[in-house]
Chain A
């Protein structure tokens, strides 16, 4: 089920509680066994034999197979089988490596710090995607808007000497590019996917051209003021939390904070209700006096600003330099997170954390096993495909997502 569903659960489910519990328990228990199977070969346990994990994994898969037979719990069963089966190759791979290698990769505090780094730009992009698509406009141009944020934050910080102004200029550039997308898809009612792709190529071109025109062949100077890390006074000296959270970038905290803020906006405020109404059924929204086109313009623009913030983090959150096409398709992974997260900010957070952390692990693994690294790198795409196919919970987009609104 989706996390924090805004609507009250259907009545009548409690009646069947007693019968539900048994199957459900088996499923949840199986999933737990699967998780234990994952954890065993990793630190701090660091089991050196794959057999306990394989046994537990098979047990979990078996439990899942039992649960999947019950049509009411097909999803839970599917997830449990998946958990159990994946544990087996994982355990084999891990026990095949030296204990030193495994504990080097799975230094959890460092994994968290690195995972948050990978998560942040994806989260900004996904939050932007959620806002735009909830209003009924598909925004495939997230990647381009992110790239604008990358370039213009660096250029802005370079030109003004201030990271704050650089960030604002970056956000503005993403918002402006989003306005172009909004004009094409709302006013001209062009195909939103095509318009979004065109926006991406436009951004690749603009930033690539400006990079050379402004900075020449040597690239950005690398001396511009950058967005600082937030150094937490006491925590920074603790062993585990210090490494994990002690020196996290301001923008990472901002992204995490935006999750509840945007959730609350969408599901608890008047403007959020109206935005969702416009994305579900613009005609109905219009007949109660809502302004469909204006709402969509606002949503798409905000979405561009958020995506650009992801770009600001990518470029000016590190060493303050810009490289050609440096988003490297992160905008598209963010879009996958929107779908995987069921168009919900909290879901998007879960999805981007999953994607971000698998990227972090892949990155860390490359030091001793390129093949395993690639495997982890592919995880987000596999999971998204599974989600789109409806195996892990059905993903239902806003009803009018991608459909232009014609008034008369």
Chain B
């Protein structure tokens, strides 16, 4: 098992890619701190992960033998973040891996001059500043041990533009910039920071995925039509599965990537190489 004896903190773990990562990590022997907002955000036009979904993720991971601590909180609030990290350190002694997965896809679906101040702010505060806050809280312990891996779940939207998604695209481009700068800050102290850029991930009911559906809704197109469009634009002619992304995150979390830092790995079926 590739993560035996390691503790990983995963944000946005109630469902979707966060859950996929949690399940994969648990199978590889990791103990987990699962973090999620677990409540509604007014600015976000779709339902976010719930505490029940977070507990469901935890229960699935425990079946694999993982020790799991769940925590609800907002990555926009530094105090909440600090408390969660402190509890995680008390419970598990240390955090070896941080997966910054929490993110929102909407409010989106319009030209950028139509985006409102609060819509812009929430997007950047969750997707970009949230990862910064969590990293800021977790990294000191890693630096003291001269060991740790931070995996930022960015997006192909961090590499190319998407029409009507200015805030999302800007936040994910920012997250890749943060990845590269943090990698340089910490490389001498053996703490690695990398990013994974998923393309269009299928909404797998097993992980309660709904990202693709919400993007379709933002664009006001039926989900199946949106999926169809993406599949056609995908060199591999198929959507990415949540577990594909978890596999990349697992590799970056494990010792197999011990000399890898500052890298940006696309898991997009070739979408960005068109």
B partners with A: no
The chain B residues found within 8 Å of chain A, CB to CB, are none
